[in-house]
Structure 1
Amino acid sequence: MIATQPVHDAHEAHAHAPYLRHHFETVEQQREASSFGMWLFLLTEIMFFGGLFTAYLIYRNWYYPAFVVGSHQLSIVLGTINTAVLICSSFTMAMGVYSAEMKRRKALVGWLLATIILGGVFLGIKADEYHEKWEKHHVPGLNFSVQDFTHPTDAEPALPLDMAQKTQVYFSLYFAMTGMHALHMVIGISILLVLVVKAWGGAYTAGHMTTIENFGLYWHFVDIVWIFLFPLLYLISRHQ
């Protein structure tokens, strides 16, 4: 009994924090590993969206007139509003991270809820845009029509039939790029709902905030992707 007492005391002195995983020796080591894993994940996301951006630039160079006319079918007003909404959501997410650092539980929950609301507003506006594209028969492969491009009703120039058909490429990339971005938003909001529940129970304001930090990186990345999507899809060649 006497021989085992020092061992027991040493174990108690080096007892792990409740949120420290058993395969890490220190909280700092766990934090560094988690941050490295998140940055590695974001690198794969950059490569994924980079492929979509590359495809867009290549096809835009090949079918320039079709891409110009196609971009004119998007609403700059709605795109601008969504851009402002996402910028505000980045602010609320950053304030959530700050609240976790300051160990303010109610403030953390409030900022996370604000981020969820702003994300929902973004998705609602995007759904309205998608509905408009369906009504205008601009959804490739389902109900696509070249009528708006071969016989435009506004001041837009009419396109030859072969070039008008190429607008399907533009809208295919539009739905692929904005659709994948929206999917990331849905995933982000779903994770936020879980974080809110755990944050209300004090999970991230008792010294362990790595999860909030890493999710903040994910949310900011999704916002940055939109900052590139907005000018490429909505603004380029507007005055041609």
Structure 2
Amino acid sequence: MNDYLDTPQGRRIAYNHQKGKGPGIVFLGGFKSDMTGTKALHLHDWARGQGRGFLRFDYSGHGDSSGEFEDGCIGEWFADAAAVLTSLTTGPQVLVGSSMGGWIALLLARAMPQRVAGLVTIAAAPDFSEQGYWAGFTEAQRDTVIRDGRIEIPSEYGDEPYVITRKLIENGREHLVMNQPLPLPLPTRFLQGTADEDVPVKWALDLLDHAEGEDIRLTLVKGADHRFSSDACLRLIEGAVTEVVPQ
């Protein structure tokens, strides 16, 4: 059974909060995913076994939260995550960000470092609206986005295409993290599969090079895809979270 948080922006965010010892873990899902994904549920059960607090939620326009996916953008989803973090948790938390959730986790760590005890990203996709979609669009596709405000992109993860909007592109430019200093003065672990067809390994290497901090590590897993949900990958996520939880 989900609970709901009404944010200052008037959005209703569905969440599931498991109580336990701190610092708790906050899971940040990916683009057009929800809190019932394999990694979120696995970490929920793992955290329960550890007696640790665990919070997962749906961004607006995702899962059981209010709003339409097409109407959303990085800034709004970041605001949703910030509202969840500040309203539902106390003290520093460990952020686990998957794909787009990695970008949002980096934004949170930059905006409110005092609330982040550690950071784990899984196939992090910082700035993906710009360095992924916009950079990869043809001139004709860019013209379509500007003229129509949207374009449909086939999805490998379901029957419905992804709708990439002009709002997503333009708002994403206001929240880039790879074009300015990115201090991460906290234990940080980046996880990345070499067979990921959505997030190139180069992005992970660029992020490692760009981020500033004394305890930052990148683990590459040969053959792992974007889902990063095999038993071995899930154990790696557990290990990464254990490493960044303050002892």
- Structure 2 length normalisation: TM-score? 0.23
Structure with bigger gyration radius: 1
- Structure 1 length normalisation: TM-score? 0.24
Q: Which has the higher helix share?
A: 1
Q: Which has the higher strand share?
A: 2
Between 1 and 2, higher relative CO (CA 8 Å, sep ≥ 6) is seen in 1
